[in-house]
């Protein structure tokens, strides 16, 4: 599924130790093209891809951008209704319903693989499994724990709860419909990479996957607000807007995680991310998510990574050294 260019990382530069660029797993590299960028530009370029405004300008905020940022700030002060706009994918619940109806015994792996492709339904499942009704006195620390805690009654309740959520692309929302597939793709790839990095250091892969998969929830809310505020006259393409919009959406992700009562480790990772904590102040899980997020974004860019950038070299070196790409289910 992934097609990459062998020469992305240079012809013979050493990436780590005596390993050369050609040894870097061909299943994970970034598509080549004109120009290059470093990791500090990734967020803005990624947001441009997501919003369909790939060029950005150094200009004052227009009236549309000002309105959107104001609404986002208000949303942060009133987080009670954040969840209503979180959209699910169309296919997850019908497939889950079919699984439950067609088998007398829950096929845990199949259910887990299905939920791993839908951030919002997985979030509902995690929260439901940790409720007093289903927890059964044992903390949920793995996907198997989650499915065991829920059982068939919990999964049926999950279908009922998640079915009340909007479906991506069914509410005539331009920005949500356009951004949805890209945000999902990035989230799944981030989750896969983050989980594998956690496995390599014997950290909790369940929390790592959740943190990666749900990391774009604030951006989903942000896109919903873009649709509400859209005036048909202006585009969200100023550099200042993208920086502020992305920062506020990260804060929204943290607020969602806290209000949703996601696992404490996931909430802490999001808080470190939204506060811009230094590497020394971050836990290993937060560093893993940072690396996974950047690599997943880089893959979606039309240009190539610039290895002259020190931070980029650190990311590539770590991926080269630690990731077992045969284990990843990337999109």
> How does pLDDT run across 202-251, given as a tens digit for each residue?
889 999 999 999 999 999 989 889 988 887 788 787 888 888 999 999 99
pLDDT at 162 over 90: yes
Instruction: With cut-offs at 50, 70 and 90, classify the pLDDT of residue 59.
Output: confident
The arithmetic mean of pLDDT across residues 133-159, rounded, is 90
Percent of the chain that is helix, strand, coil (3-state, to 5): 65, 5, 35
The pLDDT tens digits for 306-315 are 656 666 666 6
What is the separation of C-alpha 97 from the centre of its chain, rounded to a whole number of angstroms? 25
Burial class of residue 63 in the structure, from the number of CB atoms within 10 Å of its CB (0-12 exposed, 13-18 middle, 19+ buried): exposed
151/166 Cα distance (integer angstroms): 25
Confidence of residue 91 (pLDDT cuts 50, 70, 90): very high
Q: Let me know: does 255 contact 273? Beta carbons within 8 Å.
A: no
Give the residues across from 238 on adjacent strands.
Answer: 57
The dihedral of CA 109, 193, 273, 304: what is its sign? negative
Inter-residue contact 38 to 44 (CB < 8 Å): no
Share the mean pLDDT of the chain.
79
Q: Is the dihedral of CA 44, 48, 54, 55 positive or negative?
A: negative
The C-alpha atoms of residue 216 and residue 58 are separated, in whole angstroms, by 25
Instruction: Give the residue with greater pLDDT, 278 vs 300.
Output: 300
Nearest CA to 288 out of 305, 306, 266, 303 is that of 266
């Amino acid at each position: 599924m992934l097609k990459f260019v062998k020469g992305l990382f240079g012809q013979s530069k050493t990436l780590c130790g005596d390993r050369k660029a050609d040894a870097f797993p061909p299943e994970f590299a970034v598509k080549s093209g004109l120009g290059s960028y470093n990791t500090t530009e990734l967020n803005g370029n990624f947001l441009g891809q997501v919003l369909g405004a790939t060029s950005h300008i150094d200009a004052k905020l227009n009236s549309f951008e000002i309105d959107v940022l104001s609404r986002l700030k208000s949303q942060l002060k009133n987080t009670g209704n954040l969840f209503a706009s979180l959209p699910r994918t169309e296919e997850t619940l019908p497939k889950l319903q079919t699984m439950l109806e067609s088998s007398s015994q829950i096929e845990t792996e199949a259910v887990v693989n299905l939920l791993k492709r839908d951030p919002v339904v997985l979030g509902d499942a995690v929260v439901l499994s940790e409720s007093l009704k289903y927890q059964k006195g044992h903390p949920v620390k793995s996907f198997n724990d989650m499915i065991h805690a829920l059982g068939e009654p919990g999964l049926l309740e999950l279908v009922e709860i998640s079915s009340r959520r909007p479906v991506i692309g069914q509410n005539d929302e331009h920005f949500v419909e356009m951004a949805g597939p890209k945000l999902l793709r990035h989230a799944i790839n981030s989750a896969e990479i983050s989980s594998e990095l956690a496995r390599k250091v014997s950290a909790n892969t369940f929390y790592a996957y959740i943190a990666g998969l749900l990391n774009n929830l604030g951006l989903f809310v942000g896109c919903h607000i873009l649709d509400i505020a859209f005036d048909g006259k202006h585009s969200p393409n100023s550099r200042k807007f993208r920086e502020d919009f992305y920062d506020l959406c990260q804060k929204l992700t943290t607020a969602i995680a806290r209000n949703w009562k996601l696992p404490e480790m996931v909430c802490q990772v999001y808080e470190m991310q939204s506060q811009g904590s230094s590497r020394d102040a971050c836990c290993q899980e937060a560093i893993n998510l940072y690396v996974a997020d950047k690599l997943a974004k880089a893959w979606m860019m039309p240009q190539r990574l610039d290895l002259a950038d020190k931070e980029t070299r650190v990311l590539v070196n770590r991926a080269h050294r630690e990731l077992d790409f045969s284990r990843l289910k990337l999109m």
